[in-house]
A and B are shown apart, each in its own frame.
Chain A
Amino acid sequence: MTDDGAAPALAVSGVSHAYGARKALDDVTLAVGQGQFTALLGLNGAGKTTLLSLVTRLFDTKVGSISVLGYRIDREPGEALRQLGVVFQARTLDLDLSVRENLLFHASLHGIGGREARERTAEVLADVELAERARDKARNLSGGQMRRVEIARALLHRPRLLVLDEPTVGLDIASKLAIVTHVRTLVRDRGVAVLWTTHLLDEIEPSDNVVILHQGKCMAAGLVSDVIAQNGSNSLRGAFTSLTGSREMVA
Chain B
Amino acid sequence: MTTVARGFTVRQHLICLRGITWREGLRFVHQRERFISALVRPLVWLFIFAAGFRQILGVSIIPPYDTYVLYEVYVTPGLIAMIQLFNGMQSSLSMVYDREMGNMRMLLVSPFPRWYLLVSKLLASTAVSILQVAAFLVVAELWGVDLPPWGLVAVIPALVLVGLMLGALGMLLSSMIKQLENFAGVMNFVIFPMFFASSALYPLWLVQQSSPMVYLICRLNPFTYGIELIRFSLYGKLDPIALVVVVVMTAVFMIGAIVAYDPARGLLVRRGGGPG
Contact = CB atoms under 8 A, between A and B. Distances in A.
Given A3-B4, A60-B269, A113-B15, A106 B106 contact: yes
B31 A96 contact: yes
Contacts of B105: 56, 58, 86, 88, 90, 92
Interface string A79-116: 11111101010111111110001001111111111100
B58 interface: no
A107 B4 contact: no
A140 interface: no
A56 B114 CA distance: 13
Contacts of A104: 19
B20 A4 contact: no
B180 interface: no
A53 interface: yes
A59 B274 contact: yes
A109 B106 contact: yes
Contact of A111 (B4, B15, B106): B15
Interface string A47-60: 00000010011111
A4 B3 contact: yes
Contact of B263 (A58, A79, A109, A114): A58
A232 B23 CA distance: 55
Interface string B75-113: 000000000000000000000000001110111111111
A83 B2 CA distance: 13
A60 B262 CA distance: 8
Contacts of B247: none
A20 interface: yes
Nearest to A77: B111
B272 A19 contact: yes
A81 B18 CA distance: 20
A92 B103 contact: yes
B275 A58 contact: yes
Interface in A18-62: 19-20, 53, 56-60
Contacts of A97: 23, 26-27, 30
Nearest to A18: B272
Interface in A124-173: 153
Contacts of B102: 88, 90-92
Contact of B19 (A69, A79, A82, A113): A113
Contacts of B192: none
A69 B6 CA distance: 13
Contacts of A101: 23, 26
B31 to A, nearest CB: 7
B240 to A, nearest CB: 38
16 contacts: A3-B3, A60-B269, A81-B110, A81-B111, A88-B105, A90-B101, A92-B102, A93-B103, A94-B27, A94-B103, A96-B31, A108-B16, A109-B106, A112-B15, A113-B15, A113-B18
Given A3-B4, A59-B269, A111-B13, 11 more contacts: A58-B263, A79-B4, A79-B6, A83-B4, A86-B109, A92-B103, A95-B101, A96-B30, A109-B16, A111-B15, A112-B12
